[in-house]
Structure 1
Amino acid sequence: MGALDQVISMKSQGIGDEQIIQALSKNGVSPKEIGDALNQAQIKSAVVDIQGDNDEDYPPHPAYTGRSTAKGNYKSKMQEAESEEYSLTQEEQNSQTSPVYDSYAPMPMETQSYAPPQEQLQGYDQYAPSEFNQASYDNSQYSYDPNYNVGNYDSNGMMDIAEQIIEDKLLQIKDKINYMDEFKQVMEAQVENMEERLRKIESIIDNLQILILERVGSYGQNLNSIRKEMEMMQDSFSKVIDPLTDKLASDKLRKNK
């Protein structure tokens, strides 16, 4: 069932606009659809009321169920009474006009307002049901107001719907702002964590550089000490080997001689 059908069904049950708005909101209908449905339902009810007033001369009465037949009989009797009265008036005028007065100019007739005889009208009450009391029936509540404007209806309900729409939009904007604030806080925390990690990495790299330089320096020192030791060994070997070579050379010369 659409929103318009729900609104029409609730209005037929006598439920107010605020309760209708709350019920439709609980069912998940958007405020825009609720406003459109209320507007269409009120316009439709106003158009139906106007058409009913134009189609019927008399409004419906709870106790008067046979209104259509009695109304037709009542109109026919009224037309017969008017025709009879008109014929009687014509006969009276013709009887008052005699040949004696033919030579005189005709006098202008005064226009008299016609009122149907009460005796004849009293006889028509038998055609109407006894339950229908025309004297106590108020026809003013069913009369059509020419100043009535279908567009001007339930301004309070429209204002409530507009306020609800604005509140929904503001809540959406507020939720987005809160989400952006949370996102900002999370990003700030992540950036701070990254900066701290970068600082740790920089300190580790500095320590590694220092250790590498120390190791290279220690290697250079070790090479110098090794070179000195090798020079000392060379000197000691030369001191030992030189006398031996001299002795072997002298022995060889002796043998040759």
Structure 2
Amino acid sequence: MGALEQVTKMRNQGVPDSDIIRSLTQQKISPREINDAMKQAQIKDAVSDFDNEDLEQSEMPEEAPAPMEQEYETPEEQDYAPAPQEEYPPQESGYSAQEQIYPPQSSAYAEYSQGGTDTDTVIEIAEQIFSDKIRKPQNQIDAVSEAAAMLQSKLENVSERLKKIETIIDKLQIAILEKIGSYGQNLEGIKKEMSMMQDSFSKMVSPQKESKEFPRENKAQQEYASAPQEEYPAKKEFPREVKPQKKISAKR
């Protein structure tokens, strides 16, 4: 049995509100549920009371015009009947009867004024019922909006992380390209150093080859330079043969 059913049952039995709240708290029902159940029970009682008042008001105007018609008929009959002057006192009794009829009309106006004040309470009760009915879908809508906001925040965080990852990848690419460029420069420098070493090594090796290929000539030159000039005879000069020149006849 729900809290609202228990509250309505206890109210119908005549149990006071304090005892109802105590019994519901003993059943370990939350104070919010107890408060909501009490409000809903009050609203239902007010609505039922207002319905009963409407029924009573709808019955009262149907009974009220009947005595009015009877009173209005008596003066017409008195006008047409030939009555002596001594019969005026009954007319006063007719006026007194009419005066007796007016108080119920004033009470009816009082009831209508009470009904006007009750309409305000009914409007408040209807608004409260409407708010109670809308509370559940409103809570669902709020939960959906909160979930949408959380998803939006998560998507924003993911997009920010992706942007950070992209920036890191760009930095890594730039660093790799710089390293590759520095390696290329280092290789060019190493090539230049290797070529310079090769040139210097070839220059150092070439005189040694020349000295190995021509050792005899060097020795002969040294002996010739150290020996005196007299030991070597002078070279003989032989006459050159003179060849006869042929006469070339010019042909015509």
TM class, shorter-length: 0.3 to 0.5
* TM-score computed with the length of structure 2 as normaliser: 0.39
Q: Which has the higher contact order (CA 8 A, sep 6+)?
A: 1
Larger Rg: 2
More helix by share: 2
* TM-score computed with the length of structure 1 as normaliser: 0.39
